């Protein structure tokens, strides 16, 4: 789990996090995202990701659940590359106009990776994802206000 703060309201951070098709523009390692299904409000319900893994190209599908604009959770549909994955973003407005972002991720790959490498990869993924989400939300907020 990792925490950061963004100079943008929760709605702006939520909008960036749910714009899955734009992930290849800002999310480290994500090379392609295809939204397979949307819910009644237009949010992605299922999506297929291709990422440049540390040792190989990895493909997986995620199912999403939302509590807009405060929480996003996802689970992987078991496949050739990912046996299990659970993750979440939580966005909490702070009194100073900032948004606290909490990101949690647990991955169980379907291929052999030593435990210490898997933990290191998870830490690096979480660290980069929260940093890049914060930067993207702040940049988008700046674009909409100025």
Give the domain CATH number at 99: 3.30.530.20
Distance, CA of 19 to CA of 93 (rounded, Å): 20
Is position 97 within any domain? yes
pTM above 0.85, yes or no: yes
Instruction: Give residue 107's domain range.
Output: 2-20+63-145
Distance, CA of 107 to CA of 92 (rounded, Å): 25
Sheet containing 30-38: which strands, arranged edge to edge?
2-6, 99-109, 82-93, 71-77, 57-67, 44-52, 30-38
Provide the domain count of the chain: 1
Question: What are the tens digits of pLDDT across the range 45-98?
Answer: 999 999 987 667 899 999 999 999 999 999 999 999 999 999 999 999 999 999
Is position 73 within any domain? yes
Q: What is the pLDDT of residue 144?
A: 65
């Amino acid at each position: 789990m990792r925490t950061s703060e963004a100079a943008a309201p929760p709605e702006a951070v939520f909008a960036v996090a749910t714009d899955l098709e734009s992930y290849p523009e800002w999310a480290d390692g994500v090379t392609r995202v295809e939204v397979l299904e949307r819910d009644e409000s237009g949010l992605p319900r299922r999506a297929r990701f291709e990422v440049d893994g540390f040792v190989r190209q990895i493909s997986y599908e995620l199912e999403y659940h939302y509590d807009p604009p405060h929480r996003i959770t996802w689970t992987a549909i078991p496949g050739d590359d990912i046996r299990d994955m659970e993750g979440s973003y939580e966005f909490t407005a702070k009194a100073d106009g900032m948004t606290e972002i909490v990101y949690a991720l647990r991955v169980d790959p379907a291929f052999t990776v030593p435990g210490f490498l898997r933990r290191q990869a998870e830490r690096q993924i979480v660290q980069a994802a929260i940093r890049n989400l914060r930067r993207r939300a702040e940049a988008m907020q700046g674009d909409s206000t100025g």
